[in-house]
A and B are shown apart, each in its own frame.
Chain A
């Protein structure tokens, strides 16, 4: 370890710091101390129950019934049941569409657009809009379901009333679209906050220089902003995709229907496993979900890291 002191020149920004210098910046002991509280919490309350749950996936464990008193290890039976079920494939497809539409395009797109618009806008209108967006995120799921059932009702719904007393059966004819629009409404706030925070780490001087040099808003966005906050966008995408994949709220609005048109994977798990407390089966499907999400994350990483 090199001695600390003024003899060491500052490494140029952006270059990878030689290991000795990073150890200088953060001593091992310090790093361990910093990591301990979270590791403890994560180890005890996250990893341990998660591994236990995944283990349940190879048993026929149920909360009640004989299998509660005497669970048997049944190997991969749960997995083959789930993967062989045509409803599972339908569910996977519906979920992918749901995630693509409401998270990737909807929440991230609208969230970023709002964060970008809010950057230099002040005033009561802006505050009101911000509060509206946040409130949509905050209202509890059980209440939100009623809000949207009321909004999309065929005969008395607010949307149909706003469209001039139309009688469009949104939840029956366009159920997937309805829940995509719903989830965009629901979760945009998080992307807005995260992108907003990310945009605020940009030195304003960069953008000022670009603006003075004649770059349009669009060019600033494309050439300076997006590349700089690419890491944040990737994080955001990973998180909201994962959360949307596991989102159970559509069930409260459409109960997975009509005819399984909105039967996303969490609804599928609920209907096939959890409603009867077949926890072993439910754990197995959760494990499959986990693998799918891992694959999606790798796809994102490839897409976003490759461009450099």
Chain B
């Protein structure tokens, strides 16, 4: 540092470094807004079709403002007695599977995180790979025969169990990371006060891993909501089919899509999950920094 040229002190002086800093801040601000606008447009524009087509009496494969605005597509949709019922079925399947997966994955993630089994990570990843095999069409016969022998064909329970089994490895995989990052001192302090493993799980691990629980809860619901294959091969009664299967009803006998019904059903189909996400977000929050409770 030169005696004759001391470092300028921060203050109201308009030195070159100060305005450079302001320019940089302005640029980064502009960059930020540009980023938001571009990303926003990127996500919003493709959805225009879903906004326009359901209200168009003659929708086409292009997104255009309705040439003939109508609500008739929705009333036509309701002529299918299963249209709304299927949404209720989807809610049942998604909700039950989510509860099952979260309830089973949380303790499993905790156990796997704390106990060193040799080859644990590899085993978990192999299970993950298996789950990709089992969710594919190639597994349709084994799955069907298995569920048939268990007497669970044409029941929601069968579907829920199969879906939960398939989603479990990934759920444990994700959750384990969150539990891994929890400091062990929390548990040890609790042990000192005589807490059982179950109490530790319930009062310390679960609250800490809440962001992880929220992530897998949403992920399970989204997966089950859009799963076509499993309910399709395991259920026969049309009144039990979820919306992911019923959406295929709206094609004609020649295999052509009836865009009026398809788009209106697509809209109705998407809304509940968005609502669910907002609900989970508000109540359980993905933004929770877990601390020790008193």
Q: Do chains A and B touch in the complex (CB under 8 A)?
A: yes
Binding site for B on A (CB under 8 A): 4-6, 10-11, 13, 17, 19, 21-22, 24-27, 30-35, 37-39, 41-42, 44-50, 52-54, 56, 61, 63, 110, 113-114, 117, 125, 128-129, 131-143, 146-151, 153, 155-159, 162, 185, 190, 193-194, 196-198, 200-204, 228, 231-232, 235, 238-239, 242-243, 245-246, 266, 269-270, 273-274, 279, 282-283, 286-287, 289-290, 293-294, 297
B74 touches A (CB below 8 Å):
no
The verdict on A138 contacting B270 (CB below 8 Å), with A38-B172, A45-B164, A286-B133 known, is yes
B22 touches A (CB below 8 Å):
no
Q: Which residue of A lies closest to B186 (CB)?
A: A25
B186-216 near A? 1/0 per residue, CB < 8 Å? 0110011000111011000000000110110
Asked whether B111 lies within 8 Å of A26 as measured between CB atoms, the reply is yes
B136 touches A (CB below 8 Å):
yes
Which residues of chain B from 99 to 119 have any CB-CB distance to chain A below 8 Å in the complex?
Answer: 100, 103-105, 107-108, 110-112, 114-116
In the assembled complex, which residues on chain A have CB atoms less than 8 Å from the CB atom of B292?
Answer: none
Asked whether B262 lies within 8 Å of A201 as measured between CB atoms, the reply is no
In the assembled complex, which residues on chain A have CB atoms less than 8 Å from the CB atom of B243?
Answer: 140
* 5 A-B pairs in the complex with CB atoms less than 8 angstroms apart: A113-B35, A117-B32, A198-B177, A201-B178, A201-B290
In the assembled complex, which residues on chain B have CB atoms less than 8 Å from the CB atom of A279?
Answer: 137-138, 140-141
B7 touches A (CB below 8 Å):
no
In the assembled complex, which residues on chain B have CB atoms less than 8 Å from the CB atom of A143?
Answer: 50, 247, 262-263, 266, 269-270
Asked whether A50 lies within 8 Å of B112 as measured between CB atoms, the reply is no
Q: Which residue of B lies closest to A128 (CB)?
A: B40
The verdict on A293 contacting B129 (CB below 8 Å), with A48-B146, A138-B222, A196-B286 known, is yes
In the assembled complex, which residues on chain A have CB atoms less than 8 Å from the CB atom of B188?
Answer: 10, 21, 25
B161 touches A (CB below 8 Å):
yes
In the assembled complex, which residues on chain B have CB atoms less than 8 Å from the CB atom of A49?
Answer: 134, 139, 142-143, 146
The verdict on A159 contacting B45 (CB below 8 Å), with A4-B191, A35-B111, A49-B143 known, is yes
Interface of A, secondary structure class, is helix
B123-158 near A? 1/0 per residue, CB < 8 Å? 001111111111111111111001000000000000
Asked whether B50 lies within 8 Å of A139 as measured between CB atoms, the reply is yes
What separation, in Å, do the CA atoms of A45 and B149 have in the docked complex?
12
In the assembled complex, which residues on chain B have CB atoms less than 8 Å from the CB atom of A110?
Answer: 39
What separation, in Å, do the CA atoms of A27 and B248 have in the docked complex?
50
In the assembled complex, which residues on chain A have CB atoms less than 8 Å from the CB atom of B183?
Answer: 13
In the assembled complex, which residues on chain B have CB atoms less than 8 Å from the CB atom of A293?
Answer: 129, 132
B174 touches A (CB below 8 Å):
yes
The verdict on A239 contacting B139 (CB below 8 Å), with A37-B103, A197-B178, A201-B181 known, is no
Q: Which of A125, A243, A245 contacts B36 (CB 8 A)?
A: A125
B96 touches A (CB below 8 Å):
no
The verdict on A158 contacting B185 (CB below 8 Å), with A37-B103, A279-B140 known, is no
